[in-house]
Amino acid sequence: MSDELEVFERHLGLEEGPEDGGRGGLTDFLYPSPAPRNPWGILKWWESRRLKYNLFVGASGFASLGIFSVLMSLPPSPHNQVWSWAPIIAFGALANICYFLGPLAETAIEKLSRGKILPTGPALFRMGLTFSVGLTLLPTLLAGMDWALRILRLFF
């Protein structure tokens, strides 16, 4: 494991003791043991991961903002940028509202299946985290495509 990843895991508290059988670190964060099969246990399980979720999504958001700014200011024809914190704060608030759909969905699945299916929380968490980080990085992709089109316009 690289030193940078170890420092990152230590900073997020991901290297602390494994929850379920000796895996530890980032693996336990992404592939945790499921919650107890009751609404309060499910909500508690999700809320215990909210801070780390916010750190991952926030870090990807700030990285995306930085890369976006660089790409948009590159020649040819750089774009002037005016920033407002309002959409950034709104995105963070909406991400946390959507995060709350995770325990609601898991509780509903548990009640509807009457416990006949495996717990869905860990899979829902990974899908939500992946979607949120991907959505946060979308402006970087769009800025990269814009920059590539600006370069192509020079030749065609």
Q: What are phi and psi of 77, to 5 degrees?
A: 50, 60
Integer CA distances (angstroms), 140 to 80, 126, 151, in order: 16, 22, 17
Q: What is the pLDDT of residue 83?
A: 83
| Maximum alpha-carbon separation in the chain | 62
How remote is the C-alpha of 65 from its chain's centroid?
15
Give the domain ranges of the chain.
Answer: 1-33, 34-155
State pLDDT tens for residues 66-101.
Answer: 999 999 999 999 988 888 999 999 999 999 999 999
Residue 65 amino acid letter: L
Q: What is the pLDDT of residue 7?
A: 53
List CB contacts of 109: < 8 A, sequence separation 6 or more: 117, 120
pLDDT-flagged residues of the chain (< 70): 1-23
